[in-house]
Amino acid sequence: MDAFISPQTRDYDGTQVTSLENAVYLRLTTPRGSLWHDPTLGSRLHLLAREKDVARVRRLGEEYVREALQPLLDDGRALSLEVFGIRLERGFIAVYAQLTDANGNAVPLNAWVPVS
C-alpha cells in the first residue's frame, strides 16, 4: 500500500491505496517524454489543450489514455482496460476508464482535459 496522491491537490492525502492507482495518476498527469530516465512514461493529454471541442479530440483523448496505460497491461500489473470519452461542458472533455488489476479488482479513473 502507498499513500494516495490526490488529483485535486497534487499532494499525498493520507489515505492508503495500491501502487497501481498512483501509477495511473502519474502516467496520466506527466507529459510524455518529459522524464529523462524514461521517455515512454506519461501521456500526451496535455497536447489536447490547444484542440477544439469536437468528437475527433475525444477519440484522441481515449487513444492517449490507452497509450499511457498500456505499459501497465504489458507488465502484468493490470489485466484489462476500458476507455471512453465524453463532452462534459464547453471547454472540457472527460476520459473515463476502468482498469482491472492483477487481482481482478476494478480501478476506476477519469481525466478531465481542458480544450478550446
Query: Nearest CA to 20 among 4, 44, 38, 41?
Result: 4
* pLDDT top residue among 29 and 1: 29
- Domain residue spans in the chain? 20-114
In the prediction, which pLDDT does 92 show?
A: 83
For all residues of the chain together, what is the average pLDDT? 82
Contacts of 41 (CB under 8 A, 6+ apart): 26, 27, 30, 32, 35, 71
For a pLDDT cut of 90, what percent of the chain falls above it?
Answer: 21
In the prediction, which pLDDT does 11 show?
A: 62
In the prediction, which pLDDT does 1 show?
A: 45
For the stretch 30-60, pLDDT in tens is: 999 898 888 889 999 999 888 887 888 888 9
One of 3.90.1150.30, 3.10.450.40, 3.40.190.170, 3.40.50.2000 is the CATH number of 20-114, namely 3.10.450.40
